[in-house]
Structure 1
């Protein structure tokens, strides 16, 4: 392992807001070779702990490449392991996009254009109906909080079959969100929302609808609202919403998945993730800037930030609890406890060969983002999340240096 320490203000000069992020590059090479012990800032326990965490993520993920970046006041760290991972790699943030979408909707709430208690039916008449689905019983809060009970369109058998058996035939599909919502409406809801006793079930359909409502309320496409309300103000120079453009806009790792016949398919280029549930492309540095700005009030007024951080239990969400055994879900944000006390805010993202993990302390002083890129088989989500939680825990629990 090689450890390089640089103390420079280049991140701030590049236009990123927040505290200056200092770069510490850690390359896992299979040989424990350290130029400067402890430079990685891994909980004050030296570079050996960071090396162990990075290796553990790769071991848990299998044939993957890993890129991680920590931002902590005047200290920072970057680590990578695996083949061909650029230091400033851009990647599809997948469901981490949901936090961006929640911010857009909550800004509309702050502007008085939308209420969290508005029903889906009010904004999108007749869109959520049939097979027991009723938009008049689902609020905007239910969408952002994942308490609507709506079927997750990505679990539709025909959708699963199409993209797993013939990815090449569908990689450039640009299906509009309305059509994906219609797919979800073919299925009965899991439950009817009950504000007094909320039930929770993760569904990408919720955020398609949230994006559609944001567009109708503002009269501006969802992606343009992300650009004007988040990307531009924060100076996120390497974050974008490419829409139907299948190409990643900057340096990036190649993503591969296994085909049904055991072959290996390059899935880097595709248009499948272009909607409000998954359409953001970013970097580890930009995601740290975004989450730090969010929790410190740089994007939302106090009232809306408080609503965002009001969590519900994920009772009965068996698969989700297996991956995230502790914590609750707010409005596009998860809360997970830390071993050193308190907890952190974050949102994960799982896409086609690209997996994103994030974390930020409530005071915004420490943040970490991890990008995992598949080189073949899909990682086991329970094992991957356990390993990344450990990395995030060590990164956020590390004592600040004076």
Structure 2
């Protein structure tokens, strides 16, 4: 496959929706807590979002008082079928928080040193055109401060829909390995000196997936399952297998707006995206994961503290990046509220995951990756109503 084609497709498949305007061993933490009621503001925000032109949206709110799901719009533009409770969604870059959690678990066990260069673990992988794995630490990969080029370098968030190959089903890229994707990145020079600043780069997490497999001797999906999914009983969260182009039922159809029409892009090969954004989950499972993480059930205190040490993503946006975790600072009436989480975008789906230290969490999903300004307003409303 021609290198330019690989880059273009990687961009459309792994677009990360970073909504900057929005604001002791603990393994085996499957013990359940009660799950929160959804305030009326959430329902109103979702209805406003659908009225703004998006096909369908769902918010799952969990907390000490229980769990509720609110949906608006449709899961199927053709039939008008509703967005069902328990819907499976492609979570895109929210996958990165799972990957970072496993890396930090391995750090807690002494299997990985965060301030050791990636070249120590994966010699010769990061090299060429000024890229030097001997100067880039694991921590810098986790925090997107490595300076490495992105194998999907175009800024897709701000491009017009017709400029993107959004009808691609991804099957042409089924044989891409993580090493192939890193190899594409190594044909380009670094973006900046390691540690100089933040720049969101999918290559970082492809390398972290390779690191996990190298250190453990296990496949990435198997390691995430044994370290996170099984202990928390997250039975609806998984990596799609190569050749699996669908989602488990129930699920909404995913859409891209092309020339003013919603085009169904649900059927897609996504397994090759791996650590950068391949996972599928549900709002309930994502909330359960985020709550366990932020309340200290998945990481010892030292590793969780390091995960929450952040660097600004962009000046004045209130979004700061930790180690695979975003801190959102949201102005809410008389006070500013702080929540943790991540965002994800992949053709047909957008996801925002947020959680608080008090045990409240929310996942908001939309069945298109093409959002509008009303989306930021809706997210702010939901955070302010639950945090």
Q: Deviations over 1:252-290 (max 9, x none)?
A: 00112244x666432112123540011211100111100
Q: Deviations over 1:303-358 (max 9, x none)?
A: 11111011112256xxxx7xxx1131100001112424441101001111100011
Question: Partner residue of 2:94?
Answer: 96
Instruction: Point out which structure has higher relative CO (alpha carbons under 8 A, 6+ apart).
Output: 2
Q: What does 1:206-225 align with in structure 2 at a 5 Å threshold? A: 206-225=204-223
Q: Is the Cα–Cα contact under 8 Å of residues 172 and 246 in structure 1 kept in the other structure? A: no
Q: CA shift at 1:131, angstroms?
A: 1.8
* CA distance in 2 between partners of 1:249 and 1:120 (Å): 36
Q: Give the secondary structure class of the aligned counterpart of 2:312.
A: coil
Equivalent residue in structure 1 for 2:265, among 254, 264, 267 = 267
Q: CA RMSD in A?
A: 2.5
Q: Is the Cα–Cα contact under 8 Å of residues 333 and 346 in structure 1 kept in the other structure? A: yes
Task: Say whether residues 1:362 and 2:357 are aligned partners.
Answer: yes
- For these two proteins, the number of residue pairs brought into alignment is 342
Q: Give the secondary structure class of the aligned counterpart of 1:97.
A: helix
Q: What does 1:122-161 align with in structure 2 at a 5 Å threshold? A: 122-155=120-153
Q: Is the Cα–Cα contact under 8 Å of residues 57 and 388 in structure 1 kept in the other structure? A: no
Q: For the structure 1 residues 168 and 101, does the alpha-carbon distance in structure 2 shift closer, same or farther, using more than 3 Å as the test?
A: closer
Q: CA shift at 1:378, angstroms?
A: 2.1
TM-score, length of structure 1 as denominator length? 0.79
Question: Partner residue of 1:234?
Answer: 232
Q: What does 1:14-93 align with in structure 2 at a 5 Å threshold? A: 17-21=31-35, 41-42=38-39, 47=40, 49-60=41-52, 62-83=53-74, 84-93=82-91
Q: Deviations over 1:87-122 (max 9, x none)?
A: 110011110000000011111111111110121111
Q: Is the Cα–Cα contact under 8 Å of residues 162 and 170 in structure 1 kept in the other structure? A: no
Q: Deviations over 1:115-135 (max 9, x none)?
A: 101211111222112222111
* CA distance in 2 between partners of 1:229 and 1:309 (Å): 20
Q: Give the secondary structure class of the aligned counterpart of 2:361.
A: strand
Q: Give the secondary structure class of the aligned counterpart of 2:292.
A: helix
Question: Partner residue of 1:113?
Answer: 111
Q: For the structure 1 residues 272 and 238, does the alpha-carbon distance in structure 2 shift closer, same or farther, using more than 3 Å as the test?
A: closer
Listed as ranges, the gaps of 5+ residues in structure 2 are: 1-28, 75-81
TM-score, length of structure 2 as denominator length? 0.82
Q: Give the secondary structure class of the aligned counterpart of 1:142.
A: helix
Q: CA shift at 1:222, angstroms?
A: 0.8
Q: Give the secondary structure class of the aligned counterpart of 1:101.
A: helix
Question: Partner residue of 2:295?
Answer: 296
Q: Give the secondary structure class of the aligned counterpart of 1:167.
A: coil
Equivalent residue in structure 2 for 1:351, among 346, 349, 353 = 346
* CA distance in 2 between partners of 1:41 and 1:258 (Å): 30
Q: CA shift at 1:170, angstroms?
A: 4.0
* CA distance in 2 between partners of 1:66 and 1:230 (Å): 27
Q: CA shift at 1:247, angstroms?
A: 2.0
Q: Is the Cα–Cα contact under 8 Å of residues 91 and 279 in structure 2 kept in the other structure? A: yes
Larger radius of gyration: 1
* CA distance in 2 between partners of 1:223 and 1:238 (Å): 14
Q: Is the Cα–Cα contact under 8 Å of residues 240 and 270 in structure 2 kept in the other structure? A: no
* CA distance in 2 between partners of 1:220 and 1:145 (Å): 24
Q: CA shift at 1:168, angstroms?
A: 4.1
* CA distance in 2 between partners of 1:384 and 1:188 (Å): 35
* CA distance in 1 between partners of 2:255 and 2:84 (Å): 16
Q: For the structure 1 residues 87 and 229, does the alpha-carbon distance in structure 2 shift closer, same or farther, using more than 3 Å as the test?
A: same
Q: Is the Cα–Cα contact under 8 Å of residues 108 and 300 in structure 2 kept in the other structure? A: yes
Q: Is the Cα–Cα contact under 8 Å of residues 95 and 278 in structure 1 kept in the other structure? A: yes
Q: For the structure 1 residues 236 and 17, does the alpha-carbon distance in structure 2 shift closer, same or farther, using more than 3 Å as the test?
A: farther
* CA distance in 1 between partners of 2:371 and 2:67 (Å): 27
